Amino acid sequence: MNLTDSATTSTATLPPSPPPASSESAPLLSESTLENASSQEDQYVASITEEHEVTCWGCGLCLILSPYTPIFKCGWCGAITNHNAVKIDNKYIWLKRLRDRFFLCILVLFMLFIIGAGIWAIYPVIFSESYFFGIFHMTIAVLLSITTISTFALSAFRSPGTPPLIPWGSYPAVGKSGLEGYTFCNYCSKPKSPNSHHCRSCGMCVLDMDHHCPFIGNCVGAGNHRVFILFLISSVISNFYVSLISSFAAFRIWPPVRQIPMAAFSGPGDYMLVFGSFKEIAFSFFTSVESLSVRGFILIYLCIASVVVEIGLGVLLWQQLSYIYEGNTYLSILSSRGTNRTSKKDCQNFVRFFGCPYSATRCLLGFWNSRKTHKK
């Protein structure tokens, strides 16, 4: 039986007031009853104090709370304690990391294939048109390749951002409201700021976490979010360029297709004649495909693959830019789903996100005023 049960039992079995007795025995009964009642009261107060006494993880101060308060906020340091938080053992974190490494290798191989196959299949055709034309497009391809690979490497291998390390656990070291809104991460065993989230795939708390991207094998947070957006922009532009230049090169080396006389389409509306003409065109096209070289098939693959990747990355880029415009992240949208939480939608969010020290209106007004000239 714990202290609470014993206190409850002792208070429930208090002896009733003694019946009137002789003058010799009455003082003895009253003194024993008072001593018993006082000891039971002391025991009850001690058990209540031990039951409600909780230590704040942030500053170490002892707080007296109701037993039905699993989540509370310290009045001194502002730290939030959640007794209901349960640490889930992540036994398969190695499997998640292996998955991330697999997707990372697949993406690296795909980019290298696009660059290598493009140089082998496209630029001999481009240089056959004109030497200046080939140098121009080769320069564009090198710039796009360097930009895409560098932004990919920065977003994949740069730290996504860790919460700030501040003093905690001791009252003299933690000042007033020094841990305002902080919670305790049971996985990292250290304070977690209000705008941080623990990623179970990376095994760390990430500041301003947006999402965990398995294709870069890293989280997208405060440390690499801007670089990740630049990687998406560069990838969309690069795939658009590859789709255009590969389709142009494929058109230049495509075998000639047997011409169909236009008189076959100028006659009366005979549907069988039109159907036969289209059937003959399709047959001529597939016949030309049979005589297509290996370079032509690679160009077709480059065109189709770049268009598909461009569509997928374009949708992801549009989603990311819309979240930035709203001043949110993907994770904050998920956490606020079903609530009335709203944020200010403004183009200034783009300026703050990309780190411009001045407001957008100030930059535009400065550029506009610099164009004005004074006439005498």
Give catalytic residue positions: 213
Residue 199: phi and psi, rounded to 5, are -100, 120
289, two tokens: 């495909």
H-run or E-run covering 190: strand 190-192
Question: Encoding tokens for residue 278?
Answer: 């289209």
Write down the residue that tokens 């290298």 correspond to: 112
- Cβ(344)–Cβ(266) below 8 Å: no
234: Cβ contacts below 8 Å, ≥ 6 apart: 144, 147, 148, 151
CA dihedral (103, 104, 106, 109) in degrees, to 10, reads 180
Q: Reduced to 3 states, what is the DSSP secondary structure of residue 372?
A: coil
3-state secondary structure of 297: helix
* Structural contact between residues 236 and 317, judged by C-beta atoms closer than 8 angstroms: yes
CB 211 within 8 A of CB 330: yes
> Rounded to the nearest 5°, which phi and psi values hold at 260?
-105, 130
CA dihedral for 184, 190, 194, 197, sign (positive or negative): negative
CA distances from 342 to 302, 333, 337, 363 (A): 43, 10, 10, 28
Judged by phi (left if over 0) then psi (alpha if -120 to 50, else beta), residue 176 lies in: beta
Amino acid at residue number 2: N
For 56, 82, 296, the CA distances from 72, given in Å and listed in that order, are: 9, 7, 68
Look-up: residue for tokens 């104090």?
Answer: 49
Give Cβ neighbours of residue 120 (< 8 Å, ≥ 6 apart). 295, 298
